Amino acid sequence: MASAADKQIASAKQVFQRFGGILRTGEALQHGIHRRTLYAMRDSGVLERLDRGLYRLADLPPLSDPDLVTVARKIPRGVICLISALSFHELTTQIPHAVYVALKRGAETPRLAWPPVRIFWFSGEAFTAGIEQHEIDGATVRIYSAEKTLADCFKYRNKIGMDTVLEALTFYRERKKPRLMELNQFARICRVEKIMRPYIEARL
């Protein structure tokens, strides 16, 4: 016969399963999981700790992109941008050593033990425009579209390198169906229209 603790763990597992297998501590408590049960699940190996205060059922298949999933859950108002967004859209050979995240100017600086992140502060339409939502390993990840990312890369070309920007533009032409109207729209929003125009005309 199952003990009371076993029943609490089984019930808590069902809660985790309803939310894709991943919950923050605060979310788990809101959904009726006792802190003692949560820690018992962690200590017994039922849960794996992705980051401080972020847990995942250990018997789920391995995450395909644990860094993006962790950042999406720990920084829900952030948007994956620049090199990390290029990597997601398969527009770069660069391997990001940190997750590049855009935050609205004035937002609180996030604190993560892992993975390393690079924060970029955007404002107005430069932050809100071009956000896509993608499901990765059961988590909703906010990522800028390929076109918005290209405009952002031109804007931050001095930080990421012009060679990376031009490589991305080449891959965009080869691997995507170019959307020139959207590219021009985001170029205007990011105030890089004059800089981007000759490259777009020459390469697309």
User: Is there a single domain that holds both residue 48 and residue 89?
Assistant: no
Percentage above 70 pLDDT, the chain: 96
Whether residues 38 and 92 fall in one domain: no
SS3 19: coil
pTM of the model: 0.74
Please indicate, yes or no, whether residues 85 and 147 belong to a single structural domain of this protein.
yes
Indicate whether 31 and 112 sit together in one domain: no
Query: Based on the domain organization, do 44 and 81 belong to the same domain?
Result: no
The per-residue pLDDT for range 132-150, each reduced to its tens digit, is 999 887 788 999 999 999 9
Domain end (from 33, 57, 81): 57
- What residues have CB less than 8 Å from 160, skipping those under 6 apart? 82, 83, 153
Residues 106 and 157 in one domain: yes
When mean pLDDT is compared across 40-44, 187-191, 199-203, the lowest value belongs to 199-203
The verdict on 154 and 180 lying in the same domain is: yes
- Total tally of structural domains belonging to the chain: 2
CATH number at residue 183: 3.30.460
Find out whether 63 and 42 touch, Cβ atoms under 8 Å: no
Domain final position from 57, 86, 102: 57
Mean of pLDDT values over 79-98: 91
Q: Is 42 found in the same domain as 103?
A: no
39: which 2 tokens? Answer: 């820690």
Q: Mean pLDDT score of the chain, rounded to an integer?
A: 87
DSSP H helices, the chain, are 4-18, 25-30, 35-43, 66-74, 82-88, 125-128, 146-155, 157-160, 162-175, 180-189, 193-203
pLDDT tens-place string over residues 35-61: 888 888 888 888 888 777 888 888 877
Looking at the structure, tell me whether residues 53 and 71 fall in a common domain: no
What average pLDDT does this structure show over 83-92? Answer: 94
Rounded average pLDDT over 188-199: 91
Q: Are residues 19 and 70 in the same domain?
A: no
The span from the CA of 53 to the CA of 204, in Å, is: 46
Residues 17 and 93 in one domain: no
Do 36 and 90 belong together in one domain?
no
Q: Of 57, 76, 97, which residue is a domain's last?
A: 57
Residue 39 belongs to what domain range? 4-57
Share of the chain above pLDDT 90, in %: 42
